[in-house]
Structure 1
Amino acid sequence: MSARRIRDSGAPLAFTFDGRAYEGREGDTLASALLANGVRVVGRSFKYHRPRGIHGAWSEEPNAILDVTIHGKTWPNVRATTQRLEAGMDLRSVNARPTAEGDRLGLLDRLSPFLPAGFYYKTFLWPDWHRFEPRIRAMAGLGQLDPAHEPPADSPAMNARCDVLVVGSGRSGLLAARDAALAGGTVIVVDDRFEPGGTMLHREADGAERAAALLGDVEQAGARILSRATVYGIYDHNLVCCWERRDGAPDRHWRIRPKRIVLATGAIERPLVFADNDRPGVMSAEAALYYLRRHGVLVGERIVLAANNSRALGVADALREAGAAVTVADLREGVSVDAVHGAKGVEAVTISGKRIEADCLLASGGYTPTVHLFCQAKGKLRYDEAIAAFVPGAPVDGISLVGAAAGDFGDYAIAPAWPKPGARGRQWIDFQNDVTLTDVELAARENFRSVEHLKRYTTLGMATDQGKTSNMNGLAAMAAVTGRTIQQTGTTTYRPPFVPVPFTVVAGRRRGQLFNPVRRLALETQHRAAGGVFREYGGWLRPAFYGGGEADDEMRREARQARETVAIFDGSPLGKIEVFGPQAGAIVDYNSYNTISTLKPGRVRYGFMLTEGGVIYDDGVTVKLADDHYVVSCSSGHVAGVVARLEEWRQDRFDPAAVFVHNLTAHWATLTATGPRAKALVAALSLGVDLDDAALPHMATAQGSFEGGAARVARVSFTGDRSYEISVPASKAPALWAAMKEAGRALDAVLMGSEALLLLRAEKGFIIAGKDTDGTSMPHDLGITGPRDKRLGEYVGKRSLFTENALRDNRQQFVGLAVADGGPALPTGAHVLDETGGKRRSAGYVTSSYESPAVGGPIALGLVEQGMSRMGEEVSLFHLGKARRAVIEQPCFFDREGSRIDA
């Protein structure tokens, strides 16, 4: 290829490619700069390492993918056609060792007869795949990641709504945007090019002026223009995701929700399929015109233009005007491309038996509407014989297509030129993935005739190509091989993203401290003023204990006084998820191991939520306010998960119009009074609630008021003592906190942190899901079998409770462990040993362990194999090289009769 620059229109920019110095011009893309310098081989193909040159001009480019280093940072796998050149760039070819021109692995092409499509499924099975795997994985992939390259600290996430979103800013897109804006709608136009105008800029002599005038009309009408922004996906409910590149600023990620979408995405010129059509110097005719008109680069001196359509033939005149000698091969007249000569680039072309000296072959097999986004939105296609391409079929609500994307090519004539099965030579269909016509024929012989099977068996249209240049030829080849029409053969599934999108853009700001930000209590200031020492629990920053002493001493002090008088505890992070609607009871039941809907209004029930595998996911209480209104109070760390799970089942199993899920955890602050004097403390608050045990028994709730606002009082205990949870709007939390402290002074109240609460729960044998259970624990491992054995209705996890694994007799079960060797508290995590047959193995472990002031000594909880049937048995434990002894007991160590709940 004797490409050269015929027009200089910018300042010179120095750069290197594969270690050699070159000079480009301001405004160049990497591709145009390489072409202007006569660089033929820019990369190597993925499988066979064949030399490849620049084929296209934009995102359809399959070959020119480079690693780009600028300002000391390397960006892998950059498409050379869509990246602007900057001074000082160091460009490196990918999949080549050491360079694209001199790739040592080019020898693999000689082994191609032994490496057909699907060879990896058959070749490396003997003697063992793992012998080959490391080397194969080392060869896979394209560019090289730079471990020292840290991504931008911030990639803003933008949200927008509009009446009309127009994707594409060619003539059709700008006209659609202008009309929509003049009709009074809010309009956003998104285009991935450097400037609006589309093919007007290189197809029309005065295209730049026409585009500018039309753009001015659009902007004057009030539309917003986003250039260098790629719509890469359309998701459910017409959520449109867009990647915007900005000079000197981090890229931005847009989430746009339009009422209507107009796709003006144009069309892609597809290659012709003939022997050695992948040689460097074989290019798209449209691309050659683009490089000439937009960058002043003439792609060859002696050019052969082979085309089967009228639109491409017009390129010849522009090339001749620029000084090239052009031979036109109009395939509509029965002309054929027989051969391409030249090992690493076009040197000559044989057309219908006649050899023509040439340095460039432009090939156009027709144009395919860019319908990827339409198909992502569940659009279906139909084959249009008139343009020999798939076009949009049945309409999709809220989406319309205009211009070439709709198959409107104007005055356009084409004669199909599809691959011919059995043709001689290696005829390439997918340049990026090294798929030939022979590979398609092999897939058909091995019965991979479905287009989706063809795609996976041969890798045709996969990776970053997503069928842009390869799809139509691949489908046509399979149709011809199997004797079907192209319509009968069908299309593969176009998936987002339309082009590769950097992870940093998709990740947005959720990194570092923002990945899982700590949540804070409404009363954090008050807790700190009272001497609270904070730790993180379930994603919340909460007081672990109060006072300046040692943590264990303060924890036991608070726990002891809570048992003797009354403790005040901030339980605000506990879930307050409201579920309401006609099907509220049904969805709550379905998500609970226990039946909830049988409660009377105003009553509360404790229960579990299970995973679909039957494992305990969360424990908590559910309040029934009315037949159509429930409040799910899950553990603090599971609020988001429980909301997501309820919402998932709401959409998948129930009528979304008959049940609603509303997370009000942050709206309500909850303060707890627990202990023998709890009732007296709550009575002093004047909440307007009858606290008589007959009116408000254990596991009941009542509505009251506090300082003129709503208040909810629930008698629920997580300590085993009489307890009251008082929930008020978060704005009222400081006043309630002050009132409870004031009322507590006469009652010798204590402020209690999370550590003391954990100790009180352990004394009663109350579990903490995820601490006293693990990823295998099921309700019957805790001795709770009633719902499993008696409940008739379906619920999440039910079937898994009856599997062979669930019913085996050596499951780890929840038990108490009493120290038997007179030592201190058992180490949490210590293993219970099984020493059968002289061999030691773990038969369980300690989940919680404390020195209990109420019991007067150490207590522990654990999971032990067959633990419930081993009460009274002494067992050995092992931890960090030390042995201990313990006796298996019931997990409740304090007030086993439960008398204190009403004391």
Structure 2
Amino acid sequence: MSPRRAASTGLVDRSQALRFTFDGRTYSGHPGDTLASALLANGITLVGRSFKYHRPRGIFTAGVDEPNALVTVLSGDGREPNIPATQIELYEGLEVESQNRFPSLEYDLGALGQLAGPLLSAGFYYKTFMGPVFGPLKGTRFWMICEHAIRRAAGLGRAGYEKDPARYEEMNAFCDVLVVGAGPAGLMAAEAAAKAGRRVILAEQEPKAGGSALWSGEMIGTRPAHQWAQAMAEKLAATENVRFLPRTTVWGYYDGNTLAALERVADRPSGTAKGLPRLRLWNIRAGKVVLATGSLERPVVFPGNDRPGVMLAGAAERYARQYGVLPGERIAVFTNNDGAYRAAAALRKAGAGVVAIVDVRPEISDAARALAQEAGVEPLLGHAVTGTAGKRLTRITIQRFDAATGRVSGDGRPVDVDCLAVSGGWSPTIHLASQAGGKPVWDEALHAFLPPSPMQPWVGAGAFAGAKTTVEALSTGRDAGLAAAGKKPSRARLPAVTAPALDPAPAPVLEIKAAGKAFVDLQNDVTAEDVRLAHREGFISVEHLKRYTTLGMATDQGKTSNLPGLAIMADARGLPIPEVGTTRFRPPFSPVSIGALAADRHRHFKPDRLTPMHDWHVGHGARMMEAGLWHRPMIYGQPGETVEQAYIREAAAVRRSVGICDVSTLGKIAVKGPDAAEFLDRVYTNTFSTLPIGKARYGLMLREDGIVLDDGTTWRLGAHDFLMTTTTANAGKVMQHLEYFLDAVWPHLKVHVTSVTDQWAGAAVAGPDARRVLEACVTGTGVDNVALPFMGIVHGRIAGAPVMICRLSFSGELAYEVYCGAGHGAHVWEALMDAGEPFAITPYGMEALGALRIEKGHVTGAEIDGRTTARDLYLDGMLSKKKPFIGSALMDRESLIDKNRLRLVGIVSLDGQPLGGGAHVVEKGSLDELGASIGHITAACYSPALERHIGLALVKGGKSRHGTRAFVSDPLRKRFGPVEIVSHHFYDPEGRRMHG
């Protein structure tokens, strides 16, 4: 057993041992430990050095508010610095090192800087380095001489330079009620909202739900509080309308009830090795928010309060109860409130020796005195700790303290200890509420800042809202959950809570004025004297105080230092704390990895979009490629096949029998409303108001300047209900186009457009046997020529899933597009594959799709490149002469109807060599003497149907050059050869096959 493991097990699994290294030495802990608890269990109390003075520092808290125990996590060649040891879950093989020391943590040369302590007081940067230099360097600012050395000394941990192998994700979520914090109040709020039928997200920054219930020692109902909390969390996680997110910190509250959260999914090598993301960033849009974020314990400001071995009393209690770890063998408790007495009793019960309880108050409650008896000591009332000794805490000094005057007196009394648990009261964790807008409100009765009046739809619960007992927390949590759900408070009975009847009276912010450095901000080495110096030098505004002293500017963002610093400034100014004010809390609540903010930085911040059939494709040998933001199959390669061999085989199968292609990525926009048909007439160049219900029509869309924007089919599903499809790449652009005209040009039209791309999965079934495949699996409708003519739409079922089928073709073959809800996508796809097995159905990817469309002469984004008109693409037959439409006013400009414009043609290689997209077409020349370009190739492939290399091109004169010869000039690929210019309709120009 580790030297400081308590006899009680806590909530860790002692049946398993986990090895980890700290500064190169190997130690062991257990599942359920944090790095901090495991270090304490191994007797490690010195874990870091402070920023400015390089003073030795130990573990001070047990949570996100830790200012001292910052370490660098090592992973292979990677380094992640400045991670609180209290927030690192222990795992096998964890490697960490301490920071801000040289050559070692025990012997740090930087500690010599303490000798210059008087020179390094608040504002020394401004006073010292901004001044001029005299002598030979006169006119140079001192900063310019010292900058290099100062920048080398700045910071704490050292970041790595290696590429981060981890993967990061970003998620968007919507809910009726977001509950932040899964302590007793948050659990009750989530249960109440869920029972009211609301969609609930419950976010908790710790691995386990429970909050203070994990270490309170209370009984809720008939069970220990931690067991009650775990049972509640499991119940909620199994509830259909609740999403429970453990290890998730809600770190930002923004306008429109939008909150940002960070989930630690697999923050360890074993998880990322399984393909899990390391971190997941959540963007949550909530109808209502319940803030049940609890409270943070305040320290006491007194000389020597930064020494390793000094920690918060609540942290000491948590280490003993939750982790089964003794933070020391001889422990003293220093407090001004009853809560620390519970910690003393818990530490004694866990096996530690409690040698003193020092309380500045002259009187305490009977409940506190009873707990002192459990701890085995008589409290020293009216006394204060006024000093500490030892590199690691070995001794404290106790003196009399007059609470009325705030002064100490009498001789100091030394007491040998190795741990001092301090408590200066508790402050509600109001950071998110402050971010949401409004100034915190001082509560004189509680001696704490409470959240502001809501400026967004949130409600508070538990200690966040000032509740002082677990009973109050349960009650406020239940009522907050009901309020967020739009229900009235319930009179239902709450679970009974059994706990010591501690006096809930709050504690004022406590500073002990005595000789020696008393630290306010432990990480940035801001002392009480620094705050008073700021006052003397005129930096009395809380914003100026913060920047002049760096108070609250460390990685913990002032969680333990903010209120004590304000209290010292208030004392110096002779004003109450609320008149001095407080700084606004800003996001993030705790540090957020830049990798998480960037999500997938390897792809330039672009998200991965996967179709519902993605896993099937990958599992059946698909080589994926990016198409816009989507991942689509390029080919389904067989062993030994090249990309060209694979797509030729796939395309030939479509021409010969039947193929299937995933078209889920096509943009899909629902256009609904009484004026939907009129709107489409204005948007498209051709007419849609005459389109019968149950039919589809190919449409062309222009920009205002007469250039082609996009093409696609639109389906009429009802009198005022249309489904527009767009090309994959232009889905977002077309949506913006439609919304602009509805919002800014035709706001009177009664039309609503909604992007439904992700709601539909689609499969194109193409080839001579396509109808036979559908007949084998579709029920509820026929698919013959009568029931489903060309461009017709029917509804039916495939393998029990509802589907919508349109007969249209992009390949030139008899073809159908089968749409179903995204959740049925993989199911319907597999049913189509099973039905097509007797016909040797072949899945085909983007390369085969491209070859089929080139053979047929269909245009895509390669030809609709932002420079071509309908006439350039020989789609002028779709330009209506009976109605105006977007672009009609400018499409006939002189330059757009010039006969010498680049227009669409087909290109056939005459030397049997491949053609390349982007290659120029010239009338004469060679590789050495490049001729004048008359156009360029937009797309090229080997045609299995024609058994030749072909391509589409934009060439001057277009049709007038059919039957003529030219050359392809591609100097980058060292290609120059003869070609014939032909019609772009290479294959079945009459369209007999798709009408078969």
What amino acid is the match of 1:369?
Answer: P
What amino acid is the match of 2:60?
Answer: H
Aligned partner of 2:672 in structure 1 is: 581
Matched, 1:493 2:586: yes
Change (3 A) 1:886 1:290: same
Asked if structure 1 preserves the Cα contact closer than 8 Å seen for 2:60 and 2:311, the reply is: yes
TM-score (norm 1): 0.61
Which stretch shows the higher mean deviation, 873-882 or 487-496? 873-882
Cα deviation, residue 42, structure 1: 0.7
Cα deviation, residue 767, structure 1: 3.9
Deviation digits for residues 77-108 of structure 1 (CA, Å, limit 9, x no counterpart): 76444668799987632444453223455567
Matched residue SS, 1:324: strand
What amino acid is the match of 1:465?
Answer: D
Aligned partner of 2:67 in structure 1 is: 62
1:383 pairs with one of 435, 439, 442: 442
Give the distance between the partners of 2:444 and 2:685, measured in 1 at CA. 62
Matched, 1:688 2:786: yes
What amino acid is the match of 2:427?
Answer: T
Aligned partner of 1:232 in structure 2 is: 249
Asked if structure 2 preserves the Cα contact closer than 8 Å seen for 1:685 and 1:739, the reply is: no
Matched, 1:826 2:915: yes
Aligned partner of 2:468 in structure 1 is: 408
5 Å matches for 1:531-542?
539-541=631-633
Give the distance between the partners of 1:54 and 1:224, measured in 2 at CA. 35
Percent identity over paired residues:
27
Asked if structure 1 preserves the Cα contact closer than 8 Å seen for 2:435 and 2:584, the reply is: no
Deviation digits for residues 555-590 of structure 1 (CA, Å, limit 9, x no counterpart): 88999999xx99966466263736153289499979
Cα deviation, residue 138, structure 1: 12
Give the distance between the partners of 1:732 and 1:225, measured in 2 at CA. 33
Matched, 1:42 2:47: yes
Aligned partner of 1:849 in structure 2 is: 940
Change (3 A) 1:228 1:331: farther
Give the distance between the partners of 1:66 and 1:199, measured in 2 at CA. 25
What amino acid is the match of 2:723?
Answer: V
Change (3 A) 1:363 1:829: farther
Asked if structure 2 preserves the Cα contact closer than 8 Å seen for 1:545 and 1:756, the reply is: no
Give the distance between the partners of 2:741 and 2:909, measured in 1 at CA. 50
Asked if structure 1 preserves the Cα contact closer than 8 Å seen for 2:290 and 2:460, the reply is: yes
Aligned partner of 1:768 in structure 2 is: 860
5 Å matches for 1:310-459?
311-312=339-340, 322-325=353-356, 327-329=358-360, 352=407, 356=412, 363-372=422-431, 381-394=440-453, 399-403=459-463, 405-408=465-468, 411-416=504-509, 429-432=520-523
Change (3 A) 1:368 1:755: closer
Asked if structure 2 preserves the Cα contact closer than 8 Å seen for 1:167 and 1:263, the reply is: yes
What amino acid is the match of 1:491?
Answer: R
Matched, 1:271 2:271: no
Cα deviation, residue 57, structure 1: 2.8
Give the distance between the partners of 2:155 and 2:339, measured in 1 at CA. 39
Change (3 A) 1:51 1:348: same
Aligned partner of 1:630 in structure 2 is: 722
Matched residue SS, 2:61: coil
Give the distance between the partners of 2:622 and 2:346, measured in 1 at CA. 74
Matched, 1:53 2:144: no
What amino acid is the match of 2:312?
Answer: S
Give the distance between the partners of 1:44 and 1:324, measured in 2 at CA. 28
Aligned partner of 1:804 in structure 2 is: none
Give the distance between the partners of 1:218 and 1:828, measured in 2 at CA. 63
CA RMSD of aligned residues (A): 8.1
Cα deviation, residue 622, structure 1: 2.9
Which consecutive residues of structure 1, in runs of 5 or more, have no partner in the other structure? 508-513, 676-680, 745-749, 796-800, 802-806
Aligned partner of 2:369 in structure 1 is: none
Which stretch shows the higher mean deviation, 494-503 or 624-633? 494-503
Matched residue SS, 1:287: helix
Cα deviation, residue 596, structure 1: 8.6
Give the distance between the partners of 2:435 and 2:741, measured in 1 at CA. 25
Matched residue SS, 2:724: strand
Deviation digits for residues 518-542 of structure 1 (CA, Å, limit 9, x no counterpart): 7659999xxx9xxxx9765754558
What amino acid is the match of 2:334?
Answer: L
Give the distance between the partners of 1:384 and 1:140, measured in 2 at CA. 37
Give the distance between the partners of 1:591 and 1:456, measured in 2 at CA. 58
Aligned partner of 2:699 in structure 1 is: 606
Aligned partner of 2:556 in structure 1 is: 465
Cα deviation, residue 435, structure 1: 6.5
Give the distance between the partners of 1:855 and 1:621, measured in 2 at CA. 28
Matched, 1:101 2:106: yes
Aligned partner of 2:713 in structure 1 is: 621
Cα deviation, residue 401, structure 1: 0.4
What amino acid is the match of 1:324?
Answer: V
Asked if structure 2 preserves the Cα contact closer than 8 Å seen for 1:275 and 1:428, the reply is: yes
Which stretch shows the higher mean deviation, 382-391 or 36-45? 36-45
Give the distance between the partners of 2:143 and 2:863, measured in 1 at CA. 43
Aligned partner of 2:136 in structure 1 is: none
5 Å matches for 1:710-725?
718=810, 725=816
1:882 pairs with one of 957, 974, 981: 974
Change (3 A) 1:315 1:105: same
1:305 pairs with one of 324, 334, 353: 334
Give the distance between the partners of 1:179 and 1:462, measured in 2 at CA. 38
Give the distance between the partners of 1:165 and 1:23, measured in 2 at CA. 36
Asked if structure 1 preserves the Cα contact closer than 8 Å seen for 2:291 and 2:461, the reply is: yes
Matched residue SS, 1:297: coil
Asked if structure 2 preserves the Cα contact closer than 8 Å seen for 1:704 and 1:713, the reply is: yes
Asked if structure 1 preserves the Cα contact closer than 8 Å seen for 2:906 and 2:983, the reply is: no
Matched residue SS, 1:224: helix
Change (3 A) 1:378 1:556: same
Change (3 A) 1:217 1:651: farther
What amino acid is the match of 1:849?
Answer: A
Give the distance between the partners of 1:339 and 1:378, measured in 2 at CA. 41
Cα deviation, residue 411, structure 1: 2.8
Aligned partner of 1:510 in structure 2 is: none
Give the distance between the partners of 2:189 and 2:972, measured in 1 at CA. 73
Matched residue SS, 2:860: coil
Asked if structure 1 preserves the Cα contact closer than 8 Å seen for 2:434 and 2:585, the reply is: no
Asked if structure 2 preserves the Cα contact closer than 8 Å seen for 1:59 and 1:82, the reply is: yes
Cα deviation, residue 53, structure 1: 1.4
Aligned partner of 1:511 in structure 2 is: none
Matched residue SS, 1:99: coil
Cα deviation, residue 412, structure 1: 1.6
Deviation digits for residues 149-183 of structure 1 (CA, Å, limit 9, x no counterpart): 9989x99x9x999999794455x678889999999
Cα deviation, residue 56, structure 1: 1.4
Which stretch shows the higher mean deviation, 721-730 or 647-656? 647-656
Cα deviation, residue 408, structure 1: 3.0
5 Å matches for 1:789-808?
none
Matched, 1:286 2:314: yes
Asked if structure 2 preserves the Cα contact closer than 8 Å seen for 1:588 and 1:597, the reply is: no
Deviation digits for residues 404-431 of structure 1 (CA, Å, limit 9, x no counterpart): 65343663243345899xx999875544
TM-score (norm 2): 0.57
